Structure formats: structure tokens, C-alpha cells
Amino acid sequence: MMDLKNFLWGSATASYQCEGAWDLDERVESMWDHYLHEEGLENGDIASDHYHHFEEDIRMMKEGGQRAYRFSLSWPRIIKNKQGEINEKGLAFYHKILDCCHENGIEPFVTIYHWDLPQYWEETGGWLNEEVCTAFAQYAKVCFENFHTKIRKWVTFNEPKWFVCSGYLIGNYPPCIQDVSKTIKAAYHVMYASALGVKEFREGGYEGEIGIVHSFTPVNGVDDRIETKIAMRYADNYCNNWILDTAAKGEIPIDLLSELSKQYDISYMKPEQLKIIKENTVDFLGLNYYSRTLVKPYTSGETTFVVNNSGKAGKGSSKVIVKHWFEQVMHDPNSTYTEWDTEIYPKGLKDGLLEVHQKYGLPIYITENGIGMYEDVTVPQVDDEYRISFMRDHIKAMFEAMEQGANIKGYFAWSSFDLYSWKNGCEKRYGLVAVDFDHDRIRKPKKSYTWYRDMINSNAENLK
């Protein structure tokens, strides 16, 4: 077994999904607060109430053998308005979390943006407004300046693909737009903002490293036909390359740009911005892995996205067709799927890690991996054998990739404890620790928490 002494075993959360305290201590409204309140949907007003439970949560990470905590900073908690006024109480909250991490020997691994855009920026056009890119860089600078002595691992954005496509193309996340042209613009602005964040980091000369986190899904084809290979390239550009190529190599895939420019005006991509993207690439890649994407050539029909956000829509109800590009195959008879149509496919992690290693040669962290399930948390201990088996199979797949040369430096289980799962609400649970949302949000370690602790403490001997 390889030497895992410095390997970062940890778990992850995100501000909006766990903090709660949405209007406490001068935090302002985020686009998610606004949207969920307006629509009367289940929200994260209280969520796991990490705001008041963080000491207990971080202590449990330590007792669970974990060495790192990936979490995000909330822009609307830190910056009060468009003028950039700082909320000292917001900074103080994160100082407390960071101090608590260090007191417990937990390395903080911090994402600057995990989807909670301040509503005051959303009202100016959000990611369609170039000004928001500069505002992001200023916010990132405030984070670096205030926390640089306590954070060595930084992430600019969590999953540009997921929040941009959900917000501007599929329309199931705020700002609930369905428009290809706007999707391209928002995507470009986010990648430009990420490069501006990296630039601030480099210019400030802060210690540590900075990366980006991507919702990674390696693309497989149904067969070896040339049509399938073309569909795979389209799917890879749509799913992965516009984030990974842009962040790691400083280049937006040229075949993608060429294709898009035939139908859409992309003249807002200015040479001086492309230069900033080129010159400010990341130090590492964070990959969130849940599943692969199996594709076949496009046959017919309009571009369609059906997302199973309820888990009750019935397995197999999801659908992805991108007209003239590719169709996603949602059912492989040899695989098992969750209630939310996520295929359980550990091999994809190994294949994907090797692919990313070969393409970019950068250090990699698996920044999220986990399984969402319905669970009864009123029992003394949730017996989540399925989560143990999911994690065991994926960690083994990661080791196989490491044995073949991939430079993987950490693994973060999603999630540290149960939290608010965006449009899926709180009943889709991912935590190693159960949170009883109906009874004072009491915490109870699940069986997987203990398994993970023993696996880490045994240097993964129990995986053999």
C-alpha cells in the first residue's frame, strides 16, 4: 500500500447548504435565499445550523480521523453591498471556524464561491454582467487578505458547469433562465472571474495553492463508431473541457468556440481577457465525482433537459439531448442507479482520474464523492452499508489510478454531515453524520463515519 501519511482525508460542505443563520449578523440576501423565498420552496434558512454547531461538527471530524475540512465562504456574509463594504461579523464567523479547524488539527480547504451570489449582484444581471467578474476578484482579495495566514488551500469556484448550466440553460436553479446564448456568456464570465481570482492570489504573493473544483464526469460512448466518437467530443466539451482546459491550460477549447461562434455572438470575449485567462492557470484541480456520462450520437428532437430533482419522479425519468451534438444514455442494464438517477460507477473515477492526469499533469484532489439517499435518522445509528460500499469501491478505484501514476493528494467525502441538497431539499442525505432536522438538529454518526475513521486510521489497510 502506498504512503498516505500526508494524504488529505476529509469531508466537505458548502455555506448555503449547511450554515443556516441566513439573516443573522448582517448577512445579506443571496440569489438562493431570494429565489427560494419568492417561490415558497424548501430553503436553507436554517439548514444544518452549522453556524451554531460548527465546533461540534469540526470536533466530530477530528474524532472521525479526518485531516481536512472543505467548506465555502459566503459572499453575502462577507460583503454587504455593491460598494464592497465589508461585514466584520461575517469575517469573525469564518475566523472562528478556521481557528476551530486548526485547534483540532484539521486543514481548511476553502472554496470562495459555492453558488451563493449576493442578490444585489444578481439584480444587476448576475453572471451575465461583466462587472460581477471584477466584483468577484475584489471579494476574493478580501478573503485572501483576511484569511491568508490560516488557509493554504484555496478554490476559486465550485462546479462552474453545474451552476451555470442549471441556472442559464436548464433553468432549475436561480436565475432560472433557459437560453443558450446567455449560458455561453455566463460560462465565459465565470471562467474569466476565476482567472481574475487566481491573478489576485498570485499578485498578493500569499502562501499556499489555488485551484478550481469541477463536477467531473468522464464521457463514455456506447460503441466505437466514429459518429459516437464525435458525440463524445461534443459531450466532453459540454461537460468538462470548457472548465478544465480553460482553468488548467488557459485555453477555451477552440473546436467548441468555433462551433458556438457559428450561431452566437461571442465577440465579448476580448483579447485582453483571454490573455488573463492564459496567464492565470490553477495549481491543482479539484474533481467532484458522482458518476460518468454515457453518450450516443444525436438522433432527433429538440435540446431537452429533464432533471430528477425530487427522487420521486421515478427512476429513468431524467433526459439530456443536445440537438446535433449528443444524447445521454440514462440506462445501462449492467449498472445500478439511485432514486435520483445517478449511476453508481466507480470505474469511471479510475478512468477519469487517469484521463485528467494525462491531459493536465496537475495535482488532483477528489473534492466531493458520495451517495444521496432517503434515510430514517430517528434510529440510534443509521446503518448505511450502501454508503460504505460506495465509498470503499470509489476509494479503491482512486488507489488504482494512483498506482498507475495519477498524482492524487486528497479525498473528501460529500458530505461531512447531512445538509440541504439544493432543489432536492433536506431529505436527500449524503452525510457521514446524521442531522435530525426535526429534533433540534442533533448529530449522530452514521455507520459510514466509523468505517471512514477506521479506514483512515488503518492507512487503508481494511480496503485490501
Which amino acid is residue 314, in one-letter code? Answer: G
Residues in contact with ligand BG6 by the rule CB under 6 A: 14, 17, 158-159, 162, 215, 288, 368, 372, 414, 421-422, 424, 428
Residue 430 CB, shortest distance to ligand BG6, in Å, is 6
Task: Select 111 or 273, whichever has its Cβ closest to ligand BG6.
Answer: 111
Amino acid present at 341: D
Q: How far apart are CA 456 and CA 66, in angstroms?
A: 8
Q: Which of 158/220 has CB closer to ligand BG6?
A: 158
Phi, psi of 366 (to 5 degrees): -85, 105
68 vs 365: CA distance, rounded Å: 12
Residue whose CB is less far from ligand BG6, 11 or 421? 421
Instruction: Catalytic residue, from 29, 107, 368, 375: name it.
Output: 368
Of 14 and 395, the one with the shorter C-beta distance to ligand BG6 is 14
Give the angle subtended at the CA of 342 by the CAs of 341 and 346, to the nearest 5°: 150
Q: Which is catalytic among the residues 122, 159, 327, 343?
A: 159
Q: Residue 461 corresponds to which cell in the numbers above?
A: 489497510
Closer to ligand BG6 by Cβ: residue 122 or 341: 341
For the CB of residue 30, give the shortest distance to ligand BG6 in the complex, in Å.
14
Q: Which is nearer to ligand BG6, 242 or 414 (CB)?
A: 414
- Upstream peptide bond of 415 is cis (omega within 30 degrees of 0): yes
- Report the nearest approach of ligand BG6 to the CB of residue 458 (Å): 28
| Geometric angle at alpha carbon 237, from 231 and 240, rounded to 5° | 120
Is residue 368 among the annotated active site residues?
A: yes
Q: Minimum distance from CB of 342 to ligand BG6 (Å)?
A: 8
In the bound state, the residue with its beta carbon closest to ligand BG6 is 421
In the complex, the smallest distance separating the C-beta of residue 54 from ligand BG6, rounded to whole angstroms, is 18
Give whichever of 14 and 101 is closer to ligand BG6, judged by the CB atom. 14
Helix, strand, coil abundance in the chain, percent, nearest 5: 45, 20, 40
198, 282 in Cβ contact below 8 A? yes
Minimum Å distance from CB 277 to ligand BG6?
Answer: 23
User: DSSP labels for 139-207?
Assistant: HHHHHHHHHTTT-SEEEEEE-HHHHHHIIIII-SSTT----HHHHHHHHHHHHHHHHHHHHHHHHHT-S
Q: Is 159 a catalytic residue?
A: yes
Q: What cell does 175 get?
A: 436565475
240 vs 424, beta carbon nearer ligand BG6? 424
Beta carbons of 219 and 236 less than 8 angstroms apart: yes
Q: Are 10 and 413 in contact (CB under 8 A)?
A: yes
CA distances from 72 to 14, 81, 144, 163, 215 (A): 5, 19, 13, 15, 16
* Cα–Cα distances in angstroms (integers) from residue 252 to residues 37, 210, 232, 317, 445, in the given order: 36, 19, 17, 32, 43
CB of 11 vs ligand BG6, minimal distance in Å:
12
What is the distance between the alpha carbons of residues 190 and 363, in angstroms, rounded to a whole number?
Answer: 22
Q: Is residue 408 a contact partner of residue 364, using CB atoms and an 8 Å limit?
A: yes
Vertex 328: Cα angle to 326 and 331 (nearest 5): 155
Nearer to ligand BG6 among residue 292 and residue 296 (C-beta): 292
Q: At its nearest, how many Å lie between ligand BG6 and the CB of residue 74?
A: 13
Closest contact distance (angstroms) between CB of 82 and ligand BG6 is 26
C-alpha distances in Å from residue 45, one per residue of 24, 49, 234, 253, 377: 10, 9, 39, 39, 21
Positions marked catalytic: 159, 368
